[in-house]
Structure 1
Amino acid sequence: MKIGIIGAGDVGRAVAKHAIKSGHQVMISNSRSINTLSTLAADLGCAPGTREDAIEFGDVVVIAIPYHAYPSLPARALADKIVIDTGNYAPERDGRIEALDQKQATTTGLLAAHLSSAGNIVRIAKAFNAIKMSDFERDGKPAHTPGRRALPIAANDPLARNTALQLTEEFGFDALDTGSLEESWRFERGTPAYCVPMTLPELKTILDKTDRDTLHPGGVKLP
């Protein structure tokens, strides 16, 4: 498939490496200029582009930008695309977001609401956020490897869900479908499952036991 990546930091680069290794076509973009991507794109073996280029190119668009930047995403351009959100809320970087602080929303739920504001059909999944990128690059193993690490996904659409599950497996991880986006708080930043290596049964057990009332938004205790 064709995968457009918005964001050329650690997350965008790691997803690009996995996607290319898995045989997909990739275009990577950033918030600066296509000229700043030539060396990175050559090293990765993918095409550089503007944000708009990456959206048009991708059957799947991966969002790999700081969370506070999500309102800048062009909702209309992302209509009918399969979107995979990798973002995490970090209050010390993103500023306080009341709906998240009050546990009234999830990070990807707010992104989905933004994308639907133009009347779009929104196909979105949460994936690849609950692992350190250094681990993401090196921990992938072939299917059925004993002790293979598991990663959670959540989605609001069957096509987005199946795509996220497929890519997770292709990238070398057991994929755990946690259900709808409303359940994605279970593996956001600051939860017991966040960035902790676990097998599929271990991950499912931890997610089932996670108590939202005990969590600090973004992993940071409110003053």
Structure 2
Amino acid sequence: MKIGVIGAGHIGSVLAKQFRSAGHTVVIANSRGPETLSDLARATGATAVYIQEAADGVDCMVVTIPMKNVPSLPRNLLARLPAGSPVIDTGNYYPLRDGSITEIDDGMVESEWTSRILRHPVIKAFNNITAYSLANNKRLKGSYDRIALPVSGDDVRSKQVVLNLVDQIGFDPYDAGTLAESWRYQPGTPAYCPDPTLKQLPKLLQKANRAKAPKNRDQAAKMMAKVPNIPPAELVRLARLSAGLDTLKPRTWLAVLRLGFAMLGAPGR
């Protein structure tokens, strides 16, 4: 397939590399132009293009940018997207970064908002895994510790395309229902970034509490702002602890202690 990626941050860069490793053709774009992506293109094997070209003739497109930037995308961006090509949304809403988005604050599901802004249906995927895990923790199909990733959307065919992509790059795909159900793995929920297996993921999705998720999300964002350099592997361990997937083993205790000491020494504490 030919896959377009809009956004060259951590997730976009890793996805471009993983898709290329799976044998797909990848074009990647950012808001600053292809000349700023030459190093990334060499590292991933993707072709850097202008943002207006990212949807041109692609079989699937990924939008992986901060949600505050979605309204700034060119209004005719999807004009050359072939009919039936899925659009994957990896976005997460963090008011501390994105500012207030009234519709989401009032209860609209994040990816439903993105779909409305893009004026195109989207499939929600790759938003509840760290770039570190996405890059380093892929496994062969059938591996006991293969990470499962949820995929939500309203178009059955488009969703199947994305489920297949998840499998191809080394993760177990899980059909998490309609786009309206994608809130179950947004920030602040148990399924957000604990690297669960296919057996564990459905239980985490069911445990999600929509009323409590925004508060959990904002508390985590404030913590990250004060302690920005927590190693990704420790963040995953903390997420697993919070989700009830791990007990306080020695390594997890170490992560908690490091975080506690960092918080005590953080500015503003």
Q: TM-score of the superposition, structure 1-length normalised?
A: 0.91
For residues 209 and 216 of structure 2, the distance between their equivalents in structure 1, rounded to whole angstroms, comes to 15
Report how many aligned residue pairs link the two structures: 215
Partner of 1:139: 137
Deviation at 1:218, TM superposition (A): 7.8
Q: Which has the larger radius of gyration?
A: 2
Q: Which runs of 5+ in 1 are unaligned?
A: 117-121
1:154–1:178 contact (8 Å) kept in structure 2: yes
For residues 65 and 11 of structure 2, the distance between their equivalents in structure 1, rounded to whole angstroms, comes to 8
Partner of 1:84: 88
For residues 123 and 95 of structure 1, the distance between their equivalents in structure 2, rounded to whole angstroms, comes to 24
For residues 214 and 123 of structure 1, the distance between their equivalents in structure 2, rounded to whole angstroms, comes to 27
RMSD of aligned Cα (Å)? 1.5
Which protein has the bigger helix share?
2
Please tell me the residue identity of whatever aligns with 1:114.
Answer: I
Partner of 1:28: 28
Q: Percent identity at matched positions? A: 39
Change (3 A) 1:89 1:187: same
Partner of 2:260: none
For residues 56 and 62 of structure 1, the distance between their equivalents in structure 2, rounded to whole angstroms, comes to 13
Deviation at 1:74, TM superposition (A): 3.4
Q: TM-score of the superposition, structure 2-length normalised?
A: 0.76
Structure with the greater relative contact order (CA < 8 A, sep ≥ 6): 1 or 2? 1
Q: Which runs of 5+ in 2 are unaligned?
A: 220-269
Please tell me the residue identity of whatever aligns with 2:21.
Answer: K
Deviation at 1:16, TM superposition (A): 0.4
SS of residue in 1 equivalent to 2:152:
strand
Task: Describe the superposition over 1:100-134 as per-residue Cα deviations: whole angstroms up to 9, x where unpaired.
Answer: 2222x111101111222xxxxx3420000001100
Please tell me the residue identity of whatever aligns with 1:70.
Answer: V
For residues 215 and 104 of structure 2, the distance between their equivalents in structure 1, rounded to whole angstroms, comes to 6
Consecutive aligned runs of 4 or more in structure 1 exceeding 3 Å deviation? 74-77
SS of residue in 1 equivalent to 2:54:
helix
Partner of 2:70: 70
